[in-house]
Amino acid sequence: MTIALALHGGAGTLRRSELSPADEQRYRAGLEAALQAGYRVLRQGGAALDAVCASVCALEDDPLFNAGRGSVFTLAGAQEMEAAVMDGSRQDAGSVTGLSTVRNPVLLARAVMERSPHVTLGFAAAEDFARRIGLPTQAPGYFHTDKRWQALLLEKERLAAGGDDADIPEDRKHGTVGAAALDAQGRLAAATSTGGRTAKWPGRIGDTPVIGAGTWADAHCAVSATGHGESFIRCAAGHEISARMRLAGMSLEQACDSVVHDELLRLGGSGGVVAVDRAGRVSLPFNCEGMYRAAIDGEGRRTLAIYR
């Protein structure tokens, strides 16, 4: 029985010198809790889809990470959360965007896949659907954190002073959470959830809910991405990794490395992915300072790291 799980808490890390030991401990504890939540499901013979949802829910509930509680703010000072799931065994997917009250956006993405005739739902209609099916919601105050609010204020100042994308500090650029898993029955699944980018335009849709960009799973691999969403969309990063395995005979690691280090950088996109293949191999490449990440591969080898 081979099972494997890989997850990320975003590629937007503080510079190593700026992360205090106490904060580092908190991030590590959050990653560990999410790893255990998903791995427990797999160890008990559960589905990869259930495992990735369990890991992502744990990270959405943790205010340290940019998804669910603790999401970043748009230029207009609101939160517009997005999420996606993909079940590789059926090549079926669901995603949501523009959420402001749904406690666990990833569960709504799953409901869109399982309980609607569509793949993607957004904004008021997605919120209505969540209420109709009885998913827990929260008042906006639940999602608010001072850290993200201050990041918005700083970002607005930077933009007003004529700053461009190149000088955004990494921790303000990025953040997202996601997981990829292989279960004991050989099924692969991926899930991703995010608040998007600080000071994004209202209505902006990133790579997370775009199936094939920030989230992908099929019979070959499961991928969840984090980073500059526009670049991940422009090269269909998640799907491209699978295509390179399927059509070019690359290994999971070669496919992930070539997309993250060549394709994305060519487009100026920083970030990374976590991915799992059907043999339980895991790949966790990123092309920036760090990526909050954790994994247990098919041979039971554990990783939990932030920097290189």
Active site residues: 176
Closer to ligand ASP at the Cβ: 37 or 177? 177
Closer to ligand ASP at the Cβ: 250 or 305? 305
Residues at the interface with ligand ASP (CB under 6 A): 10, 12, 174-176, 194, 196-197, 206-208, 214, 226-227, 229
In the complex, minimum distance from the CB of residue 272 to ligand ASP, in angstroms, rounded to a whole number: 9
Closer to ligand ASP at the Cβ: 41 or 294? 294
In the complex, minimum distance from the CB of residue 288 to ligand ASP, in angstroms, rounded to a whole number: 10
Tally of CA atoms within 13 A in the half-sphere of 121 that contains its CB: 23
Q: Rounded to an integer, what distance in angstroms lies between the CA atom of residue 202 and that of residue 253?
A: 36
In the complex, minimum distance from the CB of residue 92 to ligand ASP, in angstroms, rounded to a whole number: 22
Q: Say which amino acid occupies 216.
A: W
Closer to ligand ASP at the Cβ: 224 or 283? 224
In the complex, minimum distance from the CB of residue 45 to ligand ASP, in angstroms, rounded to a whole number: 31
Q: Which residues of 197-214 are buried (b: 16+ CB within 10 A; e: fewer)?
A: bbbbeeebbbbbbbbbbb
Is residue 258 a contact partner of residue 243, using CB atoms and an 8 Å limit?
A: no
Q: Rounded to an integer, what distance in angstroms lies between the CA atom of residue 68 and that of residue 86?
A: 19
DSSP 156-218: HHHHHTT--GGGS-HHHH---EEEEEE-TTS-EEEEEEE--STTPPTT---STTSBTTTEEE-
Give me the residue whose beta carbon is nearest to ligand ASP.
Answer: 229
